[in-house]
């Protein structure tokens, strides 16, 4: 009987000791509070906002849907057309799709009548994909007031509005782009230097086949070592609008992207990467997010870059 009592007493002491060991560890690993609302809700506008500002001389609507014939077939009233592929890239750069130069952006925004005080609103018909790339371009050159019409032309029509084919008269300006914000863009060399940095996490925003190396769009297929694949389309709803803040927070934190880390987004030419950059930086408020502009177009065509597949 005494032996059983001593055994029970010993077990109680052991449990108490284990509890004392575990409790401090839990206290030093606080749970990150979930994001319930967008960090910067003003970067998105809806149909009513657009309707309220159709005659606002300080607002410039810009259609970046893709092809000029799509714009000609129907666009939002007062919107001008810009091609992100041919007008927002640098044709002289050896890597396809690299961001245009500071002087080139100055000329482009001058042509479409933008001043430093203009609120520029981008929209497309492809789940905000090209609009967020254009947004990133203007933020790189530090234009103050930039927004995305959430859902674009598809949302406009779904909300009962009509597209128009009217020509838009523009008075050119003399816009001068500011120096680039180097903190939101990165390079191959930077990526290579931080492959073993535990404070840097790479987000591959391409499709799973590209990530696995079975869909090869460069000299070599695969992905950057250590990268986590969250395809950009997972951030949008079926109607082309962004998912709510909590859904986005859960999507990225469960995948391994925490706000206390530096996040580098990439894809093939920095377009899908810019979409995810927008989600993490603007909608979720992550403090340090960089879009790798060269992306797989540069990384996968070099012979000296390590690859996983």
Hey, which residues are catalytic here?
Answer: 267
* Cα separation, 156 vs 154, whole angstroms: 5
Quote the crossing angle between the two packed helices 129-140 and 271-278, to the nearest 10°.
Answer: 80
* Cα separation, 22 vs 25, whole angstroms: 6
In whole angstroms, what separates CA 184 from the centre of its chain?
10
* Cα separation, 110 vs 172, whole angstroms: 5
Residue of 308, 231, 291 lying closest to 97 (CA atoms): 291
Encoded tokens for 261: 């880390």
User: Is 121 in contact with 61 (CB distance < 8 Å)?
Assistant: yes
Number of Cβ within a 10 Å radius of residue 279: 29
| Residue showing tokens 């666009």 | 75
Residue of 262, 103, 117 lying closest to 184 (CA atoms): 262
| Residue showing tokens 């430093």 | 116
Encoded tokens for 79: 């919107």
* Cα separation, 23 vs 14, whole angstroms: 15
Starting at the edge strand found earlier in the chain, the sheet holding 228-229 runs 185-186, 289-292, 262-266, 200-204, 228-229
What number of H helices and E strands is found in the chain?
11, 10
Query: Which DSSP letter does residue 280 get?
Result: I
């Amino acid at each position: 009987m005494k032996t059983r009592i001593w055994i029970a007493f010993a077990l109680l002491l052991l449990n108490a000791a284990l509890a004392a060991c575990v409790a401090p560890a839990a206290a030093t690993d606080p749970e990150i509070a979930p994001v319930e609302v967008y960090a910067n809700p003003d970067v998105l506008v809806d149909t009513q906002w657009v309707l309220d500002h159709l005659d606002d001389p300080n607002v410039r609507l810009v259609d970046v849907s893709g092809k000029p014939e799509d714009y000609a077939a129907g666009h939002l009233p007062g919107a001008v057309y810009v091609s992100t592929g041919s007008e927002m890239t640098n044709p002289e750069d050896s890597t396809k799709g690299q961001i245009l130069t500071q002087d080139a952006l100055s000329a482009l925004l001058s042509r479409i009548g933008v001043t430093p005080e203009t609120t520029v609103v981008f929209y497309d018909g492809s789940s905000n994909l090209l609009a967020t790339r254009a947004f990133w371009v203007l933020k790189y050159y530090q234009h103050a007031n930039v927004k995305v019409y959430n859902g674009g032309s598809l949302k406009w029509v779904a909300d009962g509005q009509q597209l128009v084919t009217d020509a838009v008269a523009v008075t050119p300006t003399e816009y001068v782009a500011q120096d680039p914000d180097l903190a939101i863009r990165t390079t191959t060399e930077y990526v290579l230097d931080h492959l073993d940095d535990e404070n840097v996490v790479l987000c591959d925003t391409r499709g799973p086949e590209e990530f696995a190396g079975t869909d090869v769009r460069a000299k070599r297929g695969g992905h950057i070592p250590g990268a986590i694949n969250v395809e950009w389309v997972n951030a949008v709803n079926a109607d082309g609008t962004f998912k709510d803040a909590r859904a986005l927070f859960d999507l990225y934190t469960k995948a391994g992207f925490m706000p206390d880390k530096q996040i580098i987004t990439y894809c093939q030419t920095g377009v899908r990467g810019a979409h995810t950059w927008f989600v993490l930086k603007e909608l979720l408020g992550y403090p340090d997010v960089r879009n790798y502009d060269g992306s797989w177009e540069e990384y996968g065509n070099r012979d000296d870059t390590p690859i996983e597949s």
